[in-house]
Structure 1
Amino acid sequence: MPLTAFYLAPDSTLQKNLTEAEVKAAFESKRGLLWVDITSTDQRDARFLESVFKFHRLAIEDCVDPLVHPPKIDDFEEYLFIIVHGINHQAESEVVETTELEIFLGPHFVVSNHNFAMMSVDGVRRRADEDGRPMRYGAQFLTHALIDAVMDNVMPTIDRMAEVAEKIEEAIVDNPDRATLDTIIALRRSTLRIHRVMAPQREVLNRMSRGEFPIVSAETEFYYRNVYDHIVRIEDLNQTLRERADTALSSYYLAVAYRQNEIVKVLSLIAAVFLPLNLIAGIYGMNLVLPGEHFTWAFYLLLGIMILVGVGTVAWFVYRGWFNFQWFLWEREPPSLLRLFKVEPKHLKRMGETRLHTPNGPDRPPAAQPREQNPKPPLDG
């Protein structure tokens, strides 16, 4: 199983890449801090979690079950089971995809599980591998660092969706084609999908920041409140995008109706141009003796009159502003929906590349402190 384990001993010694036996020994010691990160949980991982950590079977089933579970937090007295959602930046989809992160938070351990590689978790894990800093302030701060990193990587997607919304509004004015409609629908579905996970996720962080769980100390509650405020901001921006998508959809239908009216108008004007020509052709097409019938240039004279009448009619329509050539000059390449809301990795936040602000100054290793002092955790800058 893809398992990465770190153990920060009481003497601040960091052990990496622990085996299953070492993980069990570190957990049973109930000292220091143990972090186990699992990718793609299977039945073997489930047996490992149950035999070593004695987690509740229902919580383990949520980790193994491939179905999507809404964000939630369950209190099992000795530990908390938390499910949060982030953006799946590896998904090749027309609509924003989310991915789950399950976290078991105990007094001396954190177990994280995710079915797909998550750049946010990788950043925290990389920083822990370098100097162990995310683990030096306890399990509560490590859990905060994981959730905060997941939320930080939602904002680039929101910003990208805002850019798409602006392009949609421009396209509706320029040329509301089928590609524009598909983009509007994709944007609206993406906002609904984000709202579906952010609404319960906000409640999870609200509960963690108001002193409901004894395992979360009063000092750490402020940090979870910061993540809660972050989620509220994401929800507000997402709600604005959803309203813009609804407005764009209404504007699209109005623009299409207007364009159809213009097309009907053009066709009506073309029919009006040929109406006098048909009249002339009908008169001289009758099986009667007509004046000038035997004239040598009668056909060419009649053809010239018809051309003059047609050109004169078109000129009159243009003069009156009834005829517009713009519809015949449009050229537009429809955008591809695939990867529409894709955010490039360079625009995503990696915790390993950010500056951690500690009481000793930014990016300085904190002074060694006994675990029982419960030092105040830093806020990830």
Structure 2
Amino acid sequence: MAKRKHNRSRNKILDRKAGSKPGHLYVPTNAYAPRFFLMSFTDEMFEELELPSYAELLKKVNERPDARHWIDIRGYGDLKLLEHLMADFSLHPLHMEDVINDYQRPKVEDFQDTRLFIITRMLRWSTEQHSLDDVQLSLFTGSNYVLTLQSDYDDCLDPLRERIRIGKGIIRQRPTMYMVYAILDVVLDYYFPVMGEISNYLDDLEIKVLQDPTKRTLSQILDLKGELVKLRRIAWPERDKMNEILRMDDDIIPDSLDVYFRDAYDHTVQLIDLIDNHKEMTSSLVELYMSTVSNHMNGIMKVLTIISSIFIPLSFIAGVYGMNFSRENPETGKVYPWSMPELYQPYAYPSLLLFMFLMVVLQLYFFYRKGWFKSF
């Protein structure tokens, strides 16, 4: 699933035509057909619908100007829909282009004095691929509505929808900007389970490095480091976005909501600290892998050194007696006193083998006393 979505994002980037005019809209390749969801509520009422068409959605919103609306559109596969959204909600073509080209960095922009255009990124962790899957969520604010657009049908906002359904908390009593905070807060909350999954994966990689360091393990560590770099590129703009929201005028962000957005800002700072910590851990794992492989190689070299040390004197003895200098000249019968008298001694062969065996035993005992076998 994660790999498929990554390819979809890549296709949307490639769909952009070089030299197109600013604000040029297009339907991305393989874009989903749009689905229309609406939540309308006041202090006393609540209504949730999935509507068959955009016209029905707009009609429902216009029928209840006194209510607050969460307009949720999922899928971009309709160019006419994009044009109607710009006309009906007074959206700038450049903003809509950023929505469609949905690999934008998180940001916030104000337009028409009190309205906001916000981009955030929803994260998932693929336990099969060991990679991040991020989906863009775009938000537009109005006096009595929040409009969210995303390319996928699935998201992480179901807990917030459930809170609105059962009336839990104060979201029904607060202005629409509080719903913006609630959406951004839920998105940020899902970053921390992702960090938990990454932490567990790091623990697994550490065990692999210590027990069975292989090139595949090193490749997995480096891939994870790349995912953390990608996550950091998302988290830093999220922090900047929250900081910019906190600096906005009171007519955009009421003073009563500052404490909520400040809490969300603190979450982004905490998230960046976790990312940096995990990134350092991946670097430490690479160093641990190199150290473990080096120690393993040193162990192999120690074994080879011991084997060589044992066989060097044995090879010397075998080489000396392999020269076969005869003690007696077969032609003249003359005896040479400085030749090898052992060649014709009884039991010379088993005696030499026994001597060589005792030499091996003495060498092994010497190595043991030196502590060479303790690290095996």
TM category, shorter: 0.7 to 0.9
CA distance in 2, matches of 1:26, 1:217: 28
1:302 aligned residue? 352
Q: How far off is 1:171 after superposition?
A: 4.7
1:349 aligned residue? none
CA distance in 1, matches of 2:204, 2:273: 21
2:55 aligned residue? 21
User: Do the aligned partners of residues 245 and 15 (structure 1) sit closer, same or farther apart at CA in structure 2, a change above 3 Å counting?
Assistant: closer
1:35 aligned residue? 70
Counting matched residue pairs gives: 325
1:72 aligned residue? 107
CA distance in 1, matches of 2:256, 2:73: 28
CA distance in 2, matches of 1:193, 1:22: 40
Q: How far off is 1:136 after superposition?
A: 4.4
Q: Report the AA paired with residue 341 of structure 2.
A: P
2:40 aligned residue? 7
**Does structure 2 conserve the Cα–Cα contact (< 8 Å) formed by 1:172 and 1:255?**
yes
Q: How far off is 1:167 after superposition?
A: 4.3
Alignment gaps of 5+ in structure 2: 1-33, 327-339
Q: Describe the SS at the equivalent of 1:17.
A: strand
User: Do the aligned partners of residues 286 and 15 (structure 1) sit closer, same or farther apart at CA in structure 2, a change above 3 Å counting?
Assistant: closer
User: Do the aligned partners of residues 88 and 114 (structure 1) sit closer, same or farther apart at CA in structure 2, a change above 3 Å counting?
Assistant: farther
**Does structure 2 conserve the Cα–Cα contact (< 8 Å) formed by 1:99 and 1:116?**
yes
1:85 aligned residue? 121
Q: 2:239 aligns with which of 170, 185, 202?
A: 202
Q: Describe the SS at the equivalent of 1:120.
A: coil
Q: Does 1:230 align with 2:267?
A: yes
Q: Which deviates more, 312-321 or 139-148?
A: 312-321
User: Do the aligned partners of residues 113 and 17 (structure 1) sit closer, same or farther apart at CA in structure 2, a change above 3 Å counting?
Assistant: same
Q: Report the AA paired with residue 310 of structure 2.
A: V
User: Do the aligned partners of residues 220 and 161 (structure 1) sit closer, same or farther apart at CA in structure 2, a change above 3 Å counting?
Assistant: same
User: Do the aligned partners of residues 93 and 296 (structure 1) sit closer, same or farther apart at CA in structure 2, a change above 3 Å counting?
Assistant: same
Q: How far off is 1:223 after superposition?
A: 1.0
1:316 aligned residue? 366
Q: Report the AA paired with residue 147 of structure 2.
A: V
Question: Whose radius of gyration is greater, 1 or 2?
Answer: 2
Alignment gaps of 5+ in structure 1: 327-381
**Does structure 1 conserve the Cα–Cα contact (< 8 Å) formed by 2:122 and 2:137?**
yes
CA distance in 1, matches of 2:84, 2:157: 21
Q: How far off is 1:132 after superposition?
A: 8.5
Q: 1:164 aligns with which of 178, 201, 213?
A: 201
Where relative contact order (Cα < 8 A, 6+ residues apart) is larger, the structure is: 1
User: Do the aligned partners of residues 325 and 311 (structure 1) sit closer, same or farther apart at CA in structure 2, a change above 3 Å counting?
Assistant: farther
Q: How far off is 1:230 after superposition?
A: 0.9
Q: How far off is 1:216 after superposition?
A: 2.1
Deviations 1:338-378 (A, max 9, x none): xxxxxxxxxxxxxxxxxxxxxxxxxxxxxxxxxxxxxxxxx
**Does structure 1 conserve the Cα–Cα contact (< 8 Å) formed by 2:130 and 2:224?**
no
Q: Describe the SS at the equivalent of 1:286.
A: coil
Q: 1:97 aligns with which of 108, 133, 158?
A: 133
2:184 aligned residue? 147
How big is the alpha-carbon RMSD for the aligned residues of Structure 1 and Structure 2?
A: 2.8
**Percent of aligned pairs with the same amino acid:** 26
2:286 aligned residue? 249
CA distance in 2, matches of 1:13, 1:156: 31
Q: How far off is 1:26 after superposition?
A: 4.4
TM-score normalised by structure 2 residue count: 0.76
**Does structure 1 conserve the Cα–Cα contact (< 8 Å) formed by 2:195 and 2:274?**
yes
**Does structure 2 conserve the Cα–Cα contact (< 8 Å) formed by 1:95 and 1:189?**
no
**Does structure 2 conserve the Cα–Cα contact (< 8 Å) formed by 1:27 and 1:53?**
no
TM-score normalised by structure 1 residue count: 0.76
Q: How far off is 1:325 after superposition?
A: 6.7
Q: 1:288 aligns with which of 304, 325, 333?
A: 325
